[in-house]
Amino acid sequence: MAGLVVAGQLAIGCAAGGDDLDDDDGVGGATSSSSAGGMGGGVTVSVGVGGSGGAAIVTEVFGHSGTTLYRLDPETNVVSTVGDFTNCGDNSVLDIALDKDSNLWATKRDRLYRVDRTNANCTLVNDLGTNGYPDSLSFVPEGTVDANVEALVGYVNADYVRIDTTTGAITVITPNALTGGVISSGDIVSVIDGGTYLTVKDDFSQPGDICNDRDCIVQINPTTGAITKDFGDVGYDDVFGLAFWGGKAYGFSKEGVLFEVTFGTNNVASTEVPFPSAPPGLEFFGAGSATSVPFEPPK
């Protein structure tokens, strides 16, 4: 990435979101609803597979369009449809994030929701009354932004922000956290005891950047939001969704392409994941995975 200065220390987390999306200003329908089954807490367990100490392994990641939630099984790369978002109003869901217990949250430009990941039913947390929520969203592990709890974070262009999951209030952690002529393209993702990654694109302040035509993926410091390593372009543009599982990232593009990202020392290789039942004209708006997913392939 031409002109990108990488500084800081190795990151420990990640999150996701989209940019340049068509955001309807109209909001209709009910503004809140009790979510059946709460937030769908807990984890999906691969039978007979255990992590260290016998802990269950999360075996799902999620992507979504503006209206529909999808589930990817990273062990088989099979994609299934969870369902259309309900009680989320009329305009598009911009991004999602899952905490370590697989509780799912979602943002629109002006609203924060809790979402039941088993049926995509939304419960309103806060309505800002104006645009302001980030379109890249993730939880980062305890001990990074907050010493005691996981924190919901994202980027508003180059600013690194935190969202209070109780009140919906937004706090800027680091203004202009992204340097080197890039801004968030769409999403951030983070893994406990692993890494935090972000898709970025050129902000056109520096000519000749490799991220002009295709998005790049970078590693970030989850405490400050600063870039610590540049892995170069991912081979796709408008990568509005990013998830992680078992040593690989999963990109979800505005063009409706789902792809697997394998990390090299200083670059990445991307391989498309088939989605034969994808609806015509699918556009991914975001993605997410629990912070407790395995960072390395399960053994």
pLDDT of residue 242: 98
Q: How far apart are CA 159 and CA 175, in angstroms?
A: 5
Q: How many Cβ atoms from other residues are within 10 Å of residue 34's Cβ?
A: 10
CA atoms of 34 and 14, how far apart (whole Å):
29
Q: Which of 272, 268, 267 is nearest to 253 (CA)?
A: 272
What is the radius of gyration, based on Cα positions, of the chain?
17
Which residues are CB-neighbours of 290 under 8 A, at least 6 positions away? 43, 58, 98, 99, 100, 101, 102
Q: What is the token pair recorded at 237?
A: 């543009």
Domain ranges of the chain: 16-48+56-288
pTM of the predicted structure, to 2 decimals: 0.82
CB atoms within 10 A of CB 266: 9
Q: How high is the pLDDT of residue 258?
A: 98
> Bigger pLDDT: 89 or 138?
138
- Angle 115-121-125 from CA coordinates, rounded to 5°: 50
The DSSP annotation for 60-87 comes to -EEEE-SSEEEEEETTTTEEEEEEE-BS
Structure tokens at 277: 């039942």
The closest of 231, 262, 295, 291 to 105, measured between CA atoms, is 291
Q: Residue 209: what pLDDT? A: 63
The share of the chain scoring above pLDDT 70, in percent, equals 80
Centre a 10 Å sphere on the Cβ of residue 54 and count the other Cβ atoms it contains: 6
* Average pLDDT over the chain, rounded to an integer: 83
Q: How confident is the model at residue 10 (pLDDT cuts 50, 70, 90)?
A: very low
pLDDT at residue number 170: 96
Quickly state the pLDDT bin for 208 (edges 50, 70, 90): low
Query: pLDDT at position 11, please?
Result: 34
CA distance 60 to 154: 21
pLDDT tens track for 57-102:
999 999 999 999 999 999 999 999 999 999 998 789 999 999 999 9
> Looking at the predicted structure, is the pLDDT value of residue 19 above 60?
no
243, pLDDT greater than 50: yes
The CATH number fitting domain 16-48+56-288, selected from 2.115.10, 3.40.190, 1.10.3470, 2.30.130: 2.115.10
DSSP code for 279: P
Percent of the chain at pLDDT exceeding 90: 70
Please state, in angstroms and rounded to a whole number, the distance separating the CA atoms of residues 40 and 36: 8
What is the model's pLDDT at position 1? 45
Question: Is residue 130 pLDDT above 80, yes or no?
Answer: yes
- Distance CA(180)–CA(276), nearest Å, equals 38
> What is the spatial distance between Cα 31 and Cα 29, in angstroms, rounded to a whole number?
6
CB atoms within 10 A of CB 13: 30
Residues found in the chain:
299
Angle at 297 between CA 219 and CA 83, to 5 degrees: 80
What CA–CA distance (Å, rounded) separates 97 from 2? 30
Distance (Å, rounded) from C-alpha 24 to C-alpha 234? 29
